[in-house]
A and B are shown apart, each in its own frame.
Chain A
Amino acid sequence: MTDAKQLYQEVILDHNRKPRNYGKLADATHRSEGLNPLCGDHIWLNLKVSGDLIESVAFEGQSCAICKASASMMTANVKGKSIAAVEQLVEEFRGMATGTLDVANEPNHLGRLTVFAGVKDLPSRVKCAVLPWHTLHAAVQSQSVVSTEGDNDPVAQSA
C-alpha cells in the first residue's frame, strides 16, 4: 500500500505548482480534449507533429494535482519522440497505473514517470493520472474528444 502523501510529496506537487509546457500552441497540427466526467478533470492538449516526430506539445485545463502533474511530466517526456515510441509509452503508463505492468521488475521506458506507480493503490485516482495519456493517444490518432468513461475506461479495460 502506497502512502498517498508519499505520492504527492515527490515530484507531483512540484509539477502541480509549476506545470511545464502549460498553454496553447499557435502552430498545433493535432488537438484533443480529455474529460473525466466523474471528477471534472478537463484538459486540452495541443501537438505539433512533423513527419513521425512530436516536435512540440502543450496542455491546459482544470484538474486535480495528480492529473496536472501527469500531464506536465508527460509533455516534458514526449517532446522529440516518435509517435510509435509515444504510443508505447501510453500503453506502459496505463499498465503501470492499473497494476498490470510491474515497473520495478518488468522492462519499460517510463523512467521518471514511475513516480506515478503508487496510483495503482488509489483506485479512485487511476483515471486522474491516465487522462492526459488517453488524450495524447487520441490526439495522435486525430480524435478530438476523449472521456475516461465508456470505451476508454482504464479501470474497466484492466478488469
Chain B
Amino acid sequence: MTAANALKTAAPTSTFDVERYRADFPILANVHPHGKPLIYLDNGASSQMPQQVIDRLVRYQTHEHANIHRGVHTLSETATRAYEHARKQVQHFLNAKEDREIVFTSNVTDSINLVAHGFGRAFVGEGDEVIITHLEHHANIVPWQMLCEEKGAKLKVVPIDDSGALILEAYEKLFSPRTKLVSVTHVSNALGTINPVKEMIEIAHRHGVPIMIDGAQAVQHMPVDVQALDCDFYAFTGHKVFGPTGIGVLYGKAEWLNKMKPFRGGGDMILSVTFEKTTYNAIPFKFEAGTPPIAQAIALGEAVEYVQRIGLDRIAAHEHDLLTYATERLQAIDGVRIYGTAQQKAAVVSFYVNDVHPHDVGTLLNEEGVAVRTGHHCAQPVMQRFGIPATARASFAFYNKFEEVDALAAAIRKVQKLFA
C-alpha cells in the first residue's frame, strides 16, 4: 500500500464518544466468540439491547405486570398506563400527529400483513395494481403477492440500476388509474441503499395513491418524521432499534386506519359482541386483538427514547463515517467486491470475496470474533439482479468503532490467505 493510500484509509477522527455508549451494552463486553472480543456487525439482522432497556423490562416484570385495558385493580392500571405511555413514546419518535395512529404489532412482517389485509381486502380488487420495488425484503413482497393472487390484482416492480439505486423515472411510469397502493422499503437490508422516499411519496400522492414505507432498516440509522414525509403507512420493528423481539409498529394516518378492515379478530379489538353482530373498537385497538406483547412494547418505548437521547443526527453522522471507512478499507483489498454502491447508503456493506462462498467467509470471520450475516438476506430478487447466490454483509450500529472495521478487513485477508 502506498503512503497516500495509507493516509486515505486512516480512521477518521470523530467527536462521537463511542466508548461511552458501548458501556451501555453489556453483551459487547460479555461475549467472546472463540476467545476473541465480539465484533458485532450483524445489526441489520438484530441489534443489541442497552442496559437501560433491559432494566425497563425487569422493572416492568418485577413491579408492574398485569393484563391491560380490563382490570380495575392497581396493577392492571399501572400496566395499562405504561403500555399507553410507550405508544406516546413511539408517536414522538416518529413525530406522528396522534398516538392513536400508532398500532403495536409483532414485527414489520406483521405490520405489512396488517396493511395487506386491512387495506388490501377493503380497497384492492380484480385488475388493480400494487407497486413495490426490486430492493424489497421478502416481507414486503410475499404479502402483496398473496393479496394479488387472491384478488386477481397485479404486482408491479420498480427496477434498480447497477449501483442498487431505484430508477425513479421508471417508478413514475408504473402508475396507472388502477394503482391502489405503493409499498417500498426506506433502506435496503441487502445493499444499504437509502431510497428517495420523500420524492416517491410525492409522486404517489400526485397520482392519488397511498404509500407504505418499510422502515425496518431506517429508524435506527436516521431521524424519521412521518408528518414531514407525509407517508400513509410506516412500519418498523423493535429488535432492530435496540429493543426486544416480538414487538413491531405500524404507523397509519388515522383517516386510513379508520377506513380499513380489522386484521385479526378477538378480544380487545371489539366494543360489543353478540352472535348477530360485533362492533369494532376504535383505532388503534381495532388492530390489536388479544393480549399484546406488553413488556416488549414498554421496553420499545424506552429504546426509542434511548436513541433520541443520543440523537439520531449524531448517530447518522457517526455511521456515515463508519460506512465511508469500511468502504475504503474493503475496496483496498484485492478480490473483494462491494455490492450496493448507491450515492445514498446506510451503514451496510454487502461484499463478495472472490472464489470463496459467503458461507465459508462467515464461518471463518466468526473464528476471529467477527459476526456478519451471510446468505441472500431474504432478498433473493436483489441477489438475482446481481447474478450472485449470496453475499456477506457487515451492518453497523452507532456502537461500532473504526477499530472493528480494521478487524473485519484483517479477518477477510486471513480468509483469502486460507483459500489462496
Question: Which residues of A from 21 to 35 have beta carbons under 8 Å from B?
Answer: none
A40-B389, A65-B357 known; A122 and B363 CB under 8 Å? yes
Q: B190 at interface (Cβ–Cβ under 8 A)?
A: no
Question: Which residues of B from 349 to 378 have beta carbons under 8 Å from A?
Answer: 356-360, 363-364, 366-367, 374-376
A5-B418, A63-B357, A65-B357 known; A40 and B390 CB under 8 Å? yes
Shortest Cβ distance from residue A18 to the other chain B in the assembled complex, whole angstroms? 13
Q: A42 at interface (Cβ–Cβ under 8 A)?
A: yes
Question: Which residues of A from 62 to 82 have beta carbons under 8 Å from B?
Answer: 62-66
Contact indicator A13/B418 (Cβ below 8 Å): yes
Please name all residues of chain A whose beta carbon is closer than 8 Å to the beta carbon of B363 when the two chains form the complex.
Answer: 4, 122, 124-125
Q: B275 at interface (Cβ–Cβ under 8 A)?
A: no
Q: A49 at interface (Cβ–Cβ under 8 A)?
A: no
Q: A47 at interface (Cβ–Cβ under 8 A)?
A: no
* From B357, B367, B383, contact of A64 by CB (8 A): B357
* From B356, B359, B390, B418, contact of A125 by CB (8 A): B359
Please name all residues of chain A whose beta carbon is closer than 8 Å to the beta carbon of B358 when the two chains form the complex.
Answer: 39, 64
Please name all residues of chain A whose beta carbon is closer than 8 Å to the beta carbon of B383 when the two chains form the complex.
Answer: 40
CA distance A8 to B357 in the complex (A): 13
How many A residues touch the partner, as a band?
20 to 34
Contact indicator A4/B366 (Cβ below 8 Å): yes
How many A-B contacts if CB must be within 8 Å? Answer: 50
Contact indicator A39/B360 (Cβ below 8 Å): no
Question: Which residues of B from 319 to 376 have beta carbons under 8 Å from A?
Answer: 356-360, 363-364, 366-367, 374-376
Contact indicator A38/B375 (Cβ below 8 Å): yes
Shortest Cβ distance from residue B51 to the other chain A in the assembled complex, whole angstroms? 29
Q: A9 at interface (Cβ–Cβ under 8 A)?
A: yes
> Most chain-B Cβ atoms within 10 A of its Cβ — which of A8, A62, A65?
A65
* From A5, A39, A40, A128, contact of B364 by CB (8 A): A5
How many B residues touch the partner, as a band?
10 to 19
Contact indicator B367/A4 (Cβ below 8 Å): yes
Shortest Cβ distance from residue A27 to the other chain B in the assembled complex, whole angstroms? 30
Please name all residues of chain A whose beta carbon is closer than 8 Å to the beta carbon of B357 when the two chains form the complex.
Answer: 39, 63-65
Contact indicator B360/A40 (Cβ below 8 Å): no
Please name all residues of chain B whose beta carbon is closer than 8 Å to the beta carbon of A16 when the two chains form the complex.
Answer: 419
Please name all residues of chain B whose beta carbon is closer than 8 Å to the beta carbon of A9 when the two chains form the complex.
Answer: 418
- Considering only CB atoms, which chain A residue lies closest to B414 in the complex? A5
CA distance A9 to B390 in the complex (A): 23
Please name all residues of chain A whose beta carbon is closer than 8 Å to the beta carbon of B366 when the two chains form the complex.
Answer: 4
A63-B357, A122-B363 known; A39 and B418 CB under 8 Å? no
CA distance A13 to B358 in the complex (A): 15
> Most chain-A Cβ atoms within 10 A of its Cβ — which of B364, B367, B389?
B389
- Considering only CB atoms, which chain A residue lies closest to B388 in the complex? A40
CA distance A139 to B101 in the complex (A): 55
Shortest Cβ distance from residue B165 to the other chain A in the assembled complex, whole angstroms? 24
Contact indicator A4/B364 (Cβ below 8 Å): yes
Contact indicator B364/A64 (Cβ below 8 Å): no
* From A3, A65, A124, contact of B356 by CB (8 A): A65
Please name all residues of chain A whose beta carbon is closer than 8 Å to the beta carbon of B367 when the two chains form the complex.
Answer: 3-5
CA distance A38 to B363 in the complex (A): 15
Shortest Cβ distance from residue A94 to the other chain B in the assembled complex, whole angstroms? 19
A8-B418, A9-B418 known; A66 and B375 CB under 8 Å? no
CA distance A64 to B383 in the complex (A): 16
- Considering only CB atoms, which chain B residue lies closest to A9 in the complex? B418
Shortest Cβ distance from residue B123 to the other chain A in the assembled complex, whole angstroms? 33
* From A3, A8, A38, A42, contact of B360 by CB (8 A): A8
Shortest Cβ distance from residue B196 to the other chain A in the assembled complex, whole angstroms? 30
Shortest Cβ distance from residue A68 to the other chain B in the assembled complex, whole angstroms? 8
Given A40-B376, A64-B359, A65-B360, list of 16 further CB < 8 A pairs?
A: A3-B367, A4-B366, A5-B364, A8-B364, A8-B418, A9-B418, A13-B418, A38-B375, A39-B375, A39-B390, A62-B389, A63-B357, A64-B357, A65-B357, A66-B360, A128-B359
CB<8 Å pairs between A and B, sample of 8: A4-B367, A9-B418, A13-B418, A13-B419, A39-B375, A40-B383, A41-B389, A64-B358
The residues of A with any CB-CB pair to B shorter than 8 Å are: 3-5, 8-9, 13, 16, 38-42, 62-66, 122, 124-125, 128
The residues of B with any CB-CB pair to A shorter than 8 Å are: 356-360, 363-364, 366-367, 374-376, 383, 389-390, 418-419
Q: List the 10 closest pairs (A to B, CB-CB), nearest first.
A: A40-B389, A64-B357, A64-B359, A65-B360, A40-B390, A39-B359, A64-B360, A4-B363, A4-B367, A39-B375
